Chain A
Amino acid sequence: GQNIDQPTEMTATEGAIVQINCTYQTSGFNGLFWYQQHAGEAPTFLSYNVLDGLEEKGRFSSFLSRSKGYSYLLLKELQMKDSASYLCAVMDSNYQLIWGAGTKLIIKP
């Protein structure tokens, strides 16, 4: 079966750096997405990786290793507004998105 694993919850301190990991086993691979979802709001797109390596976008970076079935989202200079759930999703061979359960990130002052 297809599976996406990510930690359920993480806690970090304002101003610090946090890395949220995602491992996947899917039938085929056509890219990996990270979304951010604040409580009671819509998920919003953060990043897309289809080739191995690091994609940097401001304070957020996303890394992919296709051979290891592994990705991470790196958040730097954490702010209180970064408290949210972070969803990892992989597009399989049928171009369907397979979603992880999300990682709830709690930022403490």
Chain B
Amino acid sequence: ETGVTQTPRHLVMGMTNKKSLKCEQHLGHNAMYWYKQSAKKPLELMFVYSLEERVENNSVPSRFSPECPNSSHLFLHLHTLQPEDSALYLCASSQGSGDYNEQFFGPGTRLTVL
């Protein structure tokens, strides 16, 4: 248990579906992250929220839409995904987003797009 939870743990969706991934951290952190992890590839940072400011990776397609209603919750809204979006989506949190910031990860959502 790292103090970061993610739901659902597994998700199978069609390309026309709309779904959302949820992340919650119980650590009092003020920065949260979404990562994509594909087999044998480095973790890809998708989005960062720090004190309600969003830092976005320019290469993230618009079919991924993040939402951070407060410092404890982070969502990733998915729509019209492609099969190549199938991956493990990891959420993480840290005390800050600058300087030393050990990140605590959730267990991930295994997403399969059919």
Contacts and interface: CB of A to CB of B under 8 A. Distances in A.
Given A30-B99, A95-B98, A43 B105 contact: yes
Contacts, number: 48
A64 to B, nearest CB: 14
B42 A44 contact: no
B72 interface: no
B105 A50 contact: no
A45 B102 contact: yes
B2 interface: yes
A4 B42 contact: yes
A91 B79 CA distance: 31
Interface string B95-113: 0011111111111100000
Interface residues of B, number: 21
B76 interface: no
A23 B90 CA distance: 24
Q: Which 3 A-B pairs have the closest CB atoms?
A: A42-B105, A99-B43, A99-B42
